Chains A and B, each alone.
Chain A
C-alpha cells in the first residue's frame, strides 16, 4: 500500500514564515490555520491550547494594543506601558510576557471559557509581531509554564532555501 519512503528535500525543512519551533513531546500538533501557524493541544483532556501567530506591526503602539486586547479577553484592566510586563529575550529581541486568569472571551463566535488562564508572549520584530498564546485550566497552564517559556525561547528564524550568501537575509531587518 505504501509507495515507499521518499528522500528528504528542502520542503521538509521549510517552516511557516520561516519560523522554526521546537515543541515539547507532550504537546500535540493539530491542524494549521491561517491565524495559527503552529497549533498545539495539551493537558489530560487535550483541551489546553498553544498557538503561534504572526501579525503585521502597524504603528508604534501595536504591541501595547495587542497586549491590551488579550487583557480585554479576560475583562482585565488595560496597561499603559509595556514596561509593566515581564520581559524575556526571544528571537534575539525582547519578548513581553502576559498573564491573565478568569473567564476567557476568545471572541470570533467562540463561547466564553470559565476558569481559564493565559500565558502569552508578544515579540516585536521589525515589521511583524510574533505572538504565542497558551490558554487552558490554571493548573495545567501553570504546569506547562517552563515548557511554554522554553518553547518561546526555542523559536528561530530559519530559511534553508537561499541560493547565495548575499541573499541569506531571512530575518526581518531590525529597526
Chain B
C-alpha cells in the first residue's frame, strides 16, 4: 500500500509547476497552494503518526500506575490540549505532546485532503482511496463516540427488574423536591461536567432558577471517606465538620469506580444568605441515601450519586447462570435470560458473553455475574452503552479490508498480466 500511497499522494493534479516567466501566477497561488500542500502532505501525516505513537507509548506506561480512567482523560479527552507524560515515580518526561483527540483531528484533515482530494483518481488507486476513507471513518467514529457516548451499569438480581443504569465513574448532584404527600418527585440533576474537575479549594455556585435557593459546592474530593467526628477524633486534622461528619481525602485508586466522591453543599437563598450546610458522600449503595433540609418551609433531599440514567424500557432478569474458572474469581462464561418490557410489549432475550442485546441504539452487554449468597439470589451486571458510532469501527474494518483486497488484487492482476508472455512475442 505504501508504494502506491506515496506515488499517488506525491502526484500533483491541480497544482502544475509554474513555468518560467510566470512569477505572478506562482506568487498568487503560493499561499493557498502551500497551505494545502502542508495540510495534505506526508510530512504532516508522519508527524501525526509519530505523536500518536508517543502518546500511546507513554499512555500505556502511565496507565499501569494511575489507572485507565485517568489515563484516558489525560491523553485522549477532547479537553486535553497538551499532555506532559509522567513516569511511575512521579518523574515528568520533558516531552510535551499535543492531545490525542486533536492530533487525530489534524490527521483526519490530512487524510481527507491528501488521501481523498489530492490523490490521483483512477482505477489503479480506487482501493487505496477506499482504504483511506475507512481510516477517516474510523477516526470520525472515535470523535462521535467521544462526544456523544453514554455508558453505565445496570445491576439486577434474578427475579427482579430494573429501568435504570448508573455511570461507573461520573458523579452527579440530585435535588428531590417533595410532592404534596411528601413523596419524591422528579429530581433536578447537576451533571458531573460542571463540578467533577473542581479542586478541593475551589467553589462552584449552582443557580437553580426554578427553585427558591441556590447551591454552592465546596471541598469536592474525587476520593474520600466520610467519618463521624465522635468516632474518629484522632483522624480529624482540621477538616470542616457538618452534622458531626467530615470528609477526608484518600489516595485515588486506579479503578475509578472504586473512588468515593464527597463534597460540602451550602444551601443559600437568592440573595446569598446561607440557609443550611450539608455534607454529601457517594457510598455505592443500590438505593438513594440523601440528606434532607427544610428550605423556606419545604422539604428537599440532596444527594451525591453516580449519574443515574433512566432506560426507555424495563429489564426483568428471569434467570442468570455462570461459572468461574477453577480457583479464580474470573467468570469463564455467563448467561442471562431476560424479558425486555417496552410499553407493555414483552420480548425475551438471552444475553451471553459477546452476544449483547440491542434496542434502539442502546446495547446491553453482560459485564459481570455474581453467584447467590447463602439464602440469596444470583445477579447480573449489564454494561449499557448508547453510542451512535457503536458499529462504525466494524464497518470501517470491512471497508478497509475490501479496499486493500481490491488494491492488491489489481496489483496482482497487473503483475501477472505483464509477466505472462504474449502470443505475439511467442510467435
Interface residues of A (CB under 8 A from B): 1-16, 22, 25, 28-33, 41, 46, 106, 108-111, 161-164, 167
Contact = CB atoms under 8 A, between A and B. Distances in A.
B71 to A, nearest CB: 27
10 contacts: A1-B206, A2-B208, A11-B164, A11-B166, A12-B176, A31-B226, A32-B289, A33-B228, A161-B161, A162-B160
A159 to B, nearest CB: 8
B232 interface: yes
B254 interface: no
Contacts of A11: 164, 166, 286-288, 308
Given A30-B243, A30-B244, A4 B310 contact: no
B194 A1 contact: yes
A34 to B, nearest CB: 9
Q: Which of B184, B190, B288, B293 has the most CB of A within 10 A?
A: B288
A13 B164 CA distance: 12
A37 to B, nearest CB: 8
Nearest to B375: A127
Chain A interface helix/strand/loop/mixed? loop
A163 B185 contact: no
Given A11-B288, A163-B318, A3 B162 contact: no
B197 interface: no
Interface string B79-99: 000000000000000000000
Chain B interface helix/strand/loop/mixed? strand
A4 B206 contact: no
Contacts of A16: 285, 287, 289
Nearest to A12: B184
A109 B291 contact: no
Nearest to B341: A163
A82 to B, nearest CB: 26
Given A3-B190, A5-B188, 5 more contacts: A4-B188, A9-B164, A14-B287, A14-B288, A163-B339
B316 to A, nearest CB: 4
Contacts of A10: 161-164
A30 B231 contact: no
B188 A163 contact: no
Nearest to A13: B184
A109 B230 contact: yes
Interface of B: 157, 159-164, 166, 172, 176, 182, 184-191, 194, 206-208, 226, 228, 230-233, 243-245, 279-281, 283, 285-294, 299, 301, 308, 310-311, 316-318, 339
A46 to B, nearest CB: 8
Contacts of A6: 186-187, 189, 308, 310
Nearest to A41: B243
A146 B301 CA distance: 24
A30 B241 CA distance: 12
Contact of A22 (B182, B186, B299): B182
B189 A4 contact: yes
Interchain residue pairs A-B with the least CB separation, the first 3: A167-B159, A32-B289, A163-B316
Nearest to B175: A2
Contacts of B187: 5-6, 8, 12
A40 B195 CA distance: 28
A10 B176 CA distance: 15
A20 to B, nearest CB: 10
B243 A31 contact: yes
B281 A29 contact: no
A16 to B, nearest CB: 6
A80 B285 CA distance: 38
Contacts of A111: 230
Contacts of B189: 2-6
A110 B231 contact: yes
A161 B315 CA distance: 10
Contacts of B285: 16, 32
B159 A9 contact: no
Given A5-B187, A31-B243, A33-B228, A167 B160 contact: yes
Contact of A163 (B161, B288, B291): B161
B190 A110 contact: no
Contact of B293 (A28, A31, A163): A28
A22 B161 CA distance: 24
B48 to A, nearest CB: 35
A16 B286 CA distance: 8
Q: Which of B186, B290, B293 has the most CB of A within 10 A?
A: B186
A88 to B, nearest CB: 23
Nearest to B229: A110
B232 A31 contact: no
Contacts of B185: 8
Contact of B316 (A15, A32, A164): A164
Contacts of A2: 188-190, 206, 208
A12 to B, nearest CB: 5
